[in-house]
Amino acid sequence: MKIAFISDIHGNIHAFKAVLKDIKREKPDRIVFLGDASTLGMRPAETLERLEALKCDCILGNHDDFMIHPEKIAEYTKDKLVIDTVEWSRALHSERHLAFIRTFKDTLRIKLTDYHDIFCYHASPKSNMENIKPDTPLDSFAGLLDGKRTLFIGGHTHVQMLRNQTGNRVITAGSVGQPFISYVMPPVKHPWAEYATVSVVKDRVQVEFKQVPVDNDLINREIMESDSPMNDFISEF
C-alpha cells in the first residue's frame, strides 16, 4: 500500500497541478488531503474543484475553517494583512465551494498493517491551529499512543518534519503551495512544491518526503497581477 499526503495548497493551482502530475507517476493507492486548500492564493475555485475531483479524504485546515466560520480567525491572528487576505479569498468562494469544504473531516485514522496505523489531522490531533515543531511538547497526542505503532501526520507549519516519539513517528508533509525552509516569521520559501508518501513494504512502513519543481515565474506573474492584499508577501521566486 502507498498513500500520498498533500497539504496547504493555499490556492496555488500551478503547484497543485505539478504535485498531482508527480503523484500520478508515484501511483499511490490513496491520496489524503491534510487541509488549507484555497485561501491566500489566486485560484481558490479551481483549486477546490480539482481537489473535489480527486474524491479523496479531506481534513479541515484552519484556513478552510475560516471560510465556513469567519469568526474563528480571531482565535488565530490579529494580523490585519492576514485577515484582509482571508476576507479577499472568501469573496472568491461560491456557495458550492463552501459546501464542499463543509464535508472535510477533523481527523482520520487509517489502518496500514496489523501493527501500524496512521492518524491524520491538520495541525495537531486536538487543534487545526497548533504548531507542531521539532521541539514542541506533544501534549495533544496524549491518549492516542495505544500500543500500536502509529504514524501521526499533518500539515499547517509548511515545513517538512519527521520526529520519533517512543516508537511512533510524527510527520509534517510540507506544503504544496507555500513550502517554508524553517519556522521563522516572515518565512523563507523553497522554490518547489512538497508532499509526502507513506508506503508499506513487507510490513515495513516507509516515509518519503517529495519536492516537485514548479514554474515560479508563471506563479509570480499571476500573483503580482492580482489585487490580493498579500501579493508582495506570497510572491518571491
Side chain identity at 219, as an amino acid letter?
I
Q: Given this model, what pLDDT does residue 103 score?
A: 98
pLDDT in tens, 66-114: 999 999 999 999 999 999 999 999 999 999 999 999 999 999 999 988 8
d(CA 195, CA 110) in angstroms, rounded, equals: 18
In 3-state terms, what secondary structure has residue 94? coil
- Per-residue pLDDT reduced to its tens digit, 111-154: 988 888 999 999 999 999 999 999 999 899 888 866 567 899 99
199 near 2, Cβ under 8 Å? yes
Residue 234 has pLDDT above 70, yes or no: no
Cα(77)–Cα(74) distance, rounded to whole angstroms?
A: 6
pLDDT of residue 145: 65
d(CA 188, CA 205): 31
Of residues 46, 2, 12, the one with CA closest to residue 204: 2
- Pick the more confident residue, 187 or 214: 214
- Distance, in Å, from the CA atom of 198 to the CA atom of 118, rounded to the nearest integer, reads 9
pLDDT in tens, 37-74: 999 999 999 999 999 999 999 999 999 999 999 999 99
Question: Which pLDDT tens digit goes with each residue over 148-192?
Answer: 678 999 999 999 999 988 778 999 999 999 999 998 888 889 999
pTM for this predicted structure = 0.95
Q: Does domain 2-234 have CATH number 3.40.50.720?
A: no
What's the mean pLDDT when you consider all of the chain? 93
Q: What is the distance between the terminal CA atoms of the chain, rounded to a whole angstrom? A: 36
CA dist 191 and 26 (Å) reads: 21
Sign of the Cα pseudo-torsion (137, 140, 142, 147, in order): negative
- Phi/psi at 48 (5° precision): -65, -40
In this prediction, residue 180 carries a pLDDT of 96
